[in-house]
Structure 1
Amino acid sequence: MLAGFDAVAAMGDGASDAGKAWVFVRRFVEGWAAPLEDRDGVSREALGAAGVPLPQVLGEMYRLIGRRDDLTRRQDFLLRPGECHWDETGEVLIFRRENQSCAHWGIRRDDLRRADPPVVYQTGPTDRAWLPFLDRVSLAAVEMVLSESLFGTKHILNAGDLTADVLAGVLTRLRPLPFPEYPMWAGETVSPVRWYAAPGLLVRIDGPAPRAWLWAAGQREGDLGLVSGVLPGYW
């Protein structure tokens, strides 16, 4: 962990392709938690025994972080390669699920041959429609690492129903990550999801004011003061 780690600087001009996404993941993990090691990835043998066709970029993700549970399985769960499976229609390959199985993430069969295919998600009963999540698997991997790291951080606060004025006050203290907005699986009222950061601080905001929900994680307890100082009430 690097005190005062700046996720915005680490992401640079964005995760515009899979290669840049993996560079950011390495930088982020080294700065926010502990550097990646070879043992943190899934073996080629395990990938080969998955039993379903995994796109190359999904295999790259597993090879990089597939065994780092702090990055992949704290809140929601990246499936092990052998757990990846088709949905009931046989048209979507599922590779991640929400912790109570309220949502699933996957890749459409027709997209599996693409270099970095789009990811879709489904909520509620398994017969519901699949909806667009993020345009590339590598982006979904970055989102997963950010979210799992956020919820796994020791120093964290959350605040809901933020008014436009309060939200504006928070945002003046942060910089946006160069990462696209995307839907929160729980619904339109808590969408879109947006990411921000400051040195030592990582912030996720779900939905718009006046019902916006904020999650903030600090490397040290004092880092949270940058956000908590402008929130109403005691934090």
Structure 2
Amino acid sequence: MQQASIAYSISNAVAGAEGACDFIRQFTHVLGAPSSPDDGHAEEEIEAAEKRIGRRLPAVLRTVYSAIGRRKDLVACQDPLIPPSMLRLDDDGSVLIFRAENQGCGDFGFDWDHGDGDPMAMFRPDVADPDLYKWTAWHPRLSLACIEMLLSESWHGSPPQLKVHQSTSPDNIARIIDAYAKIPELDSPLSPQTTWFASDDLYVQVAITDPMEHEDPWSGPAPALAHIRARLRTEEAALELARMLT
């Protein structure tokens, strides 16, 4: 099977829940990563979790669990996806917690009552202050949160020769903006100084580290300093990115 462009695959995925489910099922192929029939959880495990919770999981989360839910290199390297057997509701019973912050500093969940089949994804910091211990928006759709999760976790789990992590200059950020397709759907109020780009054989996250440079860093001049995290599909793509950043 011919590999589709990563940028094309992500653009289809962010369009809606159906495209996101297709992307998740094909994620290892899109990355050029190995796959196995044992990558996902059995239907019986997912159904047991749903019976315990009392509600059926949204299709996109079911797809994550069934397709790649056991792949720690894709879903559990930094802020891990919670296994079906450990899914839980918050104290109010309205938000299902499905992902954990890696140092126990917060929870990722979704609000059952906001979104028709693709509910709002949310984050709650684990702090003592009751004014701060509350759910805030992460993504307007759970499908977007799942896509971001896969891109982030799979970067952490990638072979060293297929990922880049470095600080970079204004000129290089300008080159990335010019060369790659921006994915605005993955922008999040949790990280307003971060955005994602993609091309045929890579995706890259750019995080500005000087947010005071200008009010909207993506529409003004290039920032003074930023960090990039890129996941490459091939070593040739890694060399191409290295030449761009030289």
Report if TM-score (shorter chain) is over 0.5.
Answer: yes
Deviation at 1:226, TM superposition (A): 3.2
Structural RMSD (CA):
2.9
Deviation at 1:69, TM superposition (A): 2.1
Q: Which secondary structure does the structure 2 equivalent of 1:39 belong to?
A: coil
1:80 and 2:83 aligned: yes
Partner of residue 187, structure 1: none
Q: Which secondary structure does the structure 2 equivalent of 1:115 belong to?
A: coil
Partner of residue 198, structure 2: 197
8 A Cα contact 2:24 2:63, kept in partner: no
Structure 2: stretches of 5+ with no match in the other structure: 209-216, 218-222
Deviation at 1:159, TM superposition (A): 2.2
Deviation at 1:117, TM superposition (A): 0.7
Counterpart of 2:228 (choices 208, 214, 223) is: 214
1:23-172 maps to which residues of 2 (within 5 A)? 23-34=22-33, 38-50=37-49, 51-52=52-53, 53-57=55-59, 58-111=61-114, 114-125=116-127, 128-154=133-159, 155=161, 156-160=163-167, 162-172=168-178
Give the Cα separation in 2 of the matches to 1:21 and 1:134.
Answer: 14
8 A Cα contact 2:13 2:147, kept in partner: no
Taking structure 1 as the reference length, the TM-score comes to 0.80
Identity %: 29
Q: 1:123 to 1:221 in 2, by over 3 A?
A: farther
* Counterpart amino acid of residue 210 in structure 1: A
Q: 1:182 to 1:199 in 2, by over 3 A?
A: same
Q: 1:41 to 1:192 in 2, by over 3 A?
A: same
Partner of residue 214, structure 2: none
8 A Cα contact 1:14 1:179, kept in partner: no
Deviation at 1:22, TM superposition (A): 1.4
Q: What does the per-residue CA deviation read over 1:202-221, in whole Å, with 9 as the maximum and x for residues that have no partner?
A: 21112443343211122334
Q: What does the per-residue CA deviation read over 1:133-164, in whole Å, with 9 as the maximum and x for residues that have no partner?
A: 1122222111111111222222222223x454
Q: How many residues align?
A: 224
Query: For structure 1, which segment, 175-184 or 90-99, has the greater mean C-alpha deviation from structure 2 after superposition?
Result: 175-184
Query: For structure 1, which segment, 74-83 or 210-219, has the greater mean C-alpha deviation from structure 2 after superposition?
Result: 210-219
Deviation at 1:178, TM superposition (A): 6.5
Q: What does the per-residue CA deviation read over 1:152-187, in whole Å, with 9 as the maximum and x for residues that have no partner?
A: 222222223x45433112322322246431144xxx
8 A Cα contact 1:44 1:63, kept in partner: yes
Counterpart of 1:175 (choices 154, 178, 181) is: 181
Give the Cα separation in 1 of the matches to 2:18 and 2:42.
Answer: 20
8 A Cα contact 2:204 2:231, kept in partner: yes
Q: 1:103 to 1:229 in 2, by over 3 A?
A: farther
* Counterpart amino acid of residue 151 in structure 1: H
8 A Cα contact 1:7 1:28, kept in partner: no
Deviation at 1:106, TM superposition (A): 0.4
Give the Cα separation in 1 of the matches to 2:101 and 2:187.
Answer: 19
8 A Cα contact 1:173 1:226, kept in partner: no
Taking structure 2 as the reference length, the TM-score comes to 0.77
Deviation at 1:56, TM superposition (A): 2.9
